[in-house]
Amino acid sequence: MDTESILTLDGVYAGYGKMTILHGTNFTVPRNAITTVIGPNGAGKSTAFKTIFGMVRANAGRIAFEGADITNLPPRALIERGIVYVPQGRNIFPQLSVRHNLELGGVAAPAQLDLAGRMEQALDRFPVLRRKANQQASTLSGGEQKMLEIARSLLLEPKLMLVDEPSIGLSPLLVSELFSLLNDIKARGVTVLMIEQNAKRALESSDYGIVLELGQTRMFDRADKLLADPRVGQLFLGGTMKTTKGAA
């Protein structure tokens, strides 16, 4: 591979109880790029993210971040190393204000960090959040809630951001905004690893793509090459692709 990698999965086995989802999954994530993981439902995309983030236990294999072993570290330790995770669905605290939701992105902040300053920067970057800063987060629209989650995850200036299905439930216009936001985030030096059901749109705004199937990496290539690949087209981008929702 021609680029430096930030994250590597090496023969990772993981699952729920006796059900193994990841069967020796291998992949590498290039630094300072957007990489999208695509694959059918049940391929293990979300499980891979949860395993990376210490929410699901890896039973075998190794996960390395910037060369250091991070296998089965708890979320707090991963945040301190510069990894954040934005799961699928709604991940806000509905009864806290927008400001207080945002502020909780700094739980793992080192003591000397100027959290108030970071909050101001974040609110500057997301004017809609500043306008509604004192409202209950439950009053935000779906798109605004996703913005809040992303702003919150960026508060500590992470190196790697895992985003699971950020576009679910958003209007096409908002999806475009979201993908351009992810490109801004990349431009600021954050590596983005994303799962998307909306494979074609996601690959168009990504640098790299990973095709995951039955818990194993089938393909890894530049996003434009995957978009042009007939196998990928048939499997995931064509009319036959199933778009049923569900946790994968």
Partner 1 sequence: MTTDILQLLVSGLATGAIYALVAIGFTLLWQTSQTINFAQGEFVMLPAFYILMAGNLGLPFWAAALIGIAVSVLTLGVLFKLVVVDPMIRHGVMPLVIATIGLAIVLKEGVKEFYSAQAQPFPPLAEATNIAIGGVVFSLQSIVNLAIAIAAVVILQFFLSRTYTGRCMQATAQNPSVARILGIDVDRMILYTFVINAGLVALASILVTPIYLAKFTNGETLGIYAFIAAIIGGFNQVRGAILGGLLLGVLDNLVATYLSTQYRNALPLLILIIVVLVRPQGLLGRVEERTV
- Report the alpha-carbon angle 68-56-30, nearest 5: 40
In whole angstroms, the minimum distance from the beta carbon of 15 to partner 1 comes to 17
Instruction: Between 155 and 203, name the residue whose CB sits nearer to partner 1.
Output: 155
DSSP states of 112-179 = TS-HHHHHHHHHHH-HHHHHTTTSBGGGS-HHHHHHHHHHHHHTT--SEEEEE-TTTT--HHHHHHHH
How far, in Å, CA of 95 to CA of 116, rounded?
21
- In angstroms, give the least distance from the CB of 85 to partner 1: 5
Comparing CB distances to partner 1, the nearer of 60 and 116 is: 116
Closer residue to partner 1 in complex, CB, 108/168 = 108
- Exposure string of 193-210, with b = 16+ CB inside 10 Å and e = fewer, is bbbbbbbebbbebbbbbb
CB of 95 to partner 1, least distance (A): 6
Decide whether 11 or 94 has the Cβ nearer to partner 1. 94
Provide the residue type at 38 as one letter.
I
Q: How far is the CB of 30 from partner 1 (least distance, A)?
A: 24
Nearest to partner 1 of 132, 201 (CB atom): 132
Least Å from the CB of residue 147 to partner 1: 16
Q: Which residue has the tokens 């004192």?
A: 134
Structure token digits, residue 111 = 């003591």
24 vs 42, which CB is nearer to partner 1? 42
Gap between the Cα atoms of 205 and 175, Å rounded:
11
Angle at 147 between CA 140 and CA 179, to 5 degrees: 135
Is residue 99 within 8 Å of 119, Cβ to Cβ? yes
Least spacing, CB of residue 139 vs partner 1, in Å:
14
Residues in contact with partner 1 by CB under 8 A are: 53, 55, 75-76, 79-80, 85, 87, 91-96, 100, 103-105, 107-108, 152
